[in-house]
């Protein structure tokens, strides 16, 4: 059996559906602090209400099911984290350590935990950011991801727990709305382009950020989790990249389908977060160690996003 913690989130909801296709609906337990809103997630397999800060409740789940794999995706993201830094630290760190301990105790074979390009900071080289480099994150989310990477590597080195991790760039998908990320303008913009034909962007037009289409993120996650252990040489977290673009460029990409679409710019506090992150990432380690290869570029992502969002609007 597989456990997905944070199964209702932007990544969790898509990963749960994909894992259920691969392993069978009944074999993937979705857990989150709230009931799923999405019908396909709710109706496709077992669900459990669980709070990652409630170690006893989590322990009951581990005892009830013999989990072979655990995906721990529950976290507070960058922008939300800055509004409540102490809680973001507590949830992201205590939650991770609770899960690592339970996975060790219950001999879980493989554990997945997402990191982020948010582990990099103002003094990190911003172009082709290397796998090993200066990391001085200045958001609590980024600090918790940097510390989390240290804990994951520690549990691997000291206790042999097979924990694997990816430093995701901004993720863009159509199935689930994102929650509180700085990169989430790149999801909102597609919805607004269809709903209103215009979008007020909270980042400036030239703000380059590393991004990835959700289906590439799912592919990378499963490729990493299915790789033989000896190929997984990085046990902190792998750099991962696909596309880098600015609000100006994604606007032009959308205008290929919606020529009258317009954008205005009103940078807010999230601009400082974006300016502390890299503009492009060197993911050669992932490509060499386990054959990482993205499929989508900006225009093919835009084509797929708009096609699916239009269909979703018609069927809902
Ligand atoms: C965020 N989407 O914006 C997340 C991600 C790289 C960004 O970690 O916080």
Give the model confidence (pLDDT) of 171-207 as tens digits.
999 988 877 899 999 999 999 999 999 999 999 999 9
- Report how far residue 129's alpha carbon sits from residue 167's, in angstroms, rounded to the nearest whole number: 12
Which phi-psi region, left, alpha or beta, contains residue 200 (left: φ > 0; alpha: ψ -120 to 50)?
beta
In the predicted model, what is the mean pLDDT of the chain?
Answer: 96
State whether residue 77 is helix, strand or coil. Answer: coil
Does residue 249 have a pLDDT over 70?
yes
Give the pLDDT mean for 17-46.
95
Q: Give the ipTM.
A: 0.94
Pocket flag, ligand 1, residue 181 (CB < 6 Å): yes
Strand spans (E) along 163-249: 163-164, 166-168, 170-172, 198-201, 209-213, 238-239, 243-245
Pocket flag, ligand 1, residue 81 (CB < 6 Å): no
Let me know if 141 is a catalytic residue. Answer: yes
Give the model confidence (pLDDT) of 83-134 as tens digits.
999 999 999 999 999 999 999 999 999 999 999 999 999 999 999 999 999 9
Q: Note the pTM of the prediction, 2 decimals.
A: 0.96
**Ordered alpha helix ranges (H), 196-297:** 214-226, 247-255, 270-275, 284-290
Q: Active-site residue among 71, 112, 141, 190?
A: 141
Give the model confidence (pLDDT) of 212-234 as tens digits.
999 999 999 999 999 999 999 99
Which one, of 309, 73, 86, lies nearest residue 168 by Cα?
73
Q: Alpha-carbon dihedral of residues 190, 192, 196, 197, nearest 10 degrees? A: -40
Candidate from 114, 170, 171, 268 with most ligand 1 atoms within 8 A of CB, to mutate: 170
Kindly report the protein residue whose alpha carbon is nearest to atom 1 of ligand 1: 181
Pocket flag, ligand 1, residue 173 (CB < 6 Å): no
What pLDDT sits at residue 148?
Answer: 98
Give the model confidence (pLDDT) of 261-294 as tens digits.
999 999 999 999 999 999 999 999 999 999 999 9
State whether residue 283 is helix, strand or coil. Answer: coil
* Å from CA of 127 to ligand 1 middle: 18
Give the model confidence (pLDDT) of 22-32 as tens digits.
999 999 999 99
Kindly report the protein residue whose alpha carbon is nearest to atom 5 of ligand 1: 170
């Amino acid at each position: 059996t597989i456990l997905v913690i944070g199964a209702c989130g932007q990544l969790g909801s898509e990963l749960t559906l994909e894992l259920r296709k691969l392993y069978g609906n009944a074999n993937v337990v979705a857990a989150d602090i709230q009931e799923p809103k999405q019908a396909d997630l709710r109706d496709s397999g077992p669900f459990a209400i669980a709070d990652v800060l409630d170690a006893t409740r989590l322990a009951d789940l581990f005892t009830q099911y013999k989990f072979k794999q655990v995906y721990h995706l529950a976290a507070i993201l960058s922008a939300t984290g800055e509004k409540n830094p102490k809680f973001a630290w507590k949830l992201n760190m205590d939650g991770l350590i609770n899960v690592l301990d339970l996975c060790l105790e219950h001999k879980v074979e493989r554990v997945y935990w997402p990191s982020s390009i948010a582990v990099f900071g103002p003094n990190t080289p911003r172009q082709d950011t290397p796998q090993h480099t200066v990391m001085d994150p200045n958001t609590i989310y980024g600090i918790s991801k940097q510390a989390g990477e240290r804990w994951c590597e520690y549990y691997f080195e000291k206790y042999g727990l097979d924990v694997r991790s990816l430093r995701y760039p901004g993720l863009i998908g159509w199935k689930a709305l994102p929650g509180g990320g700085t990169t989430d303008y790149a999801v909102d913009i597609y919805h607004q382009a269809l709903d209103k034909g215009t979008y007020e962007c909270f980042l400036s037009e030239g703000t380059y950020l590393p991004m990835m289409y959700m289906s590439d993120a799912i592919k990378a996650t499963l490729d990493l989790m299915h790789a033989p252990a000896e190929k997984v040489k990085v046990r902190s977290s792998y750099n991962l990249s696909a596309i880098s673009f600015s609000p100006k460029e994604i606007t032009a990409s959308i205008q290929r389908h919606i020529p009258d679409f317009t954008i205005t710019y009103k940078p807010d506090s999230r601009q400082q977060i974006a300016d502390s992150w890299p503009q492009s990432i060197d993911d050669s380690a992932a490509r060499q160690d386990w054959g990482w290869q993205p499929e989508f570029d900006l225009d093919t992502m835009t084509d797929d996003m708009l096609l699916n969002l239009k269909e979703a609007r018609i069927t809902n």
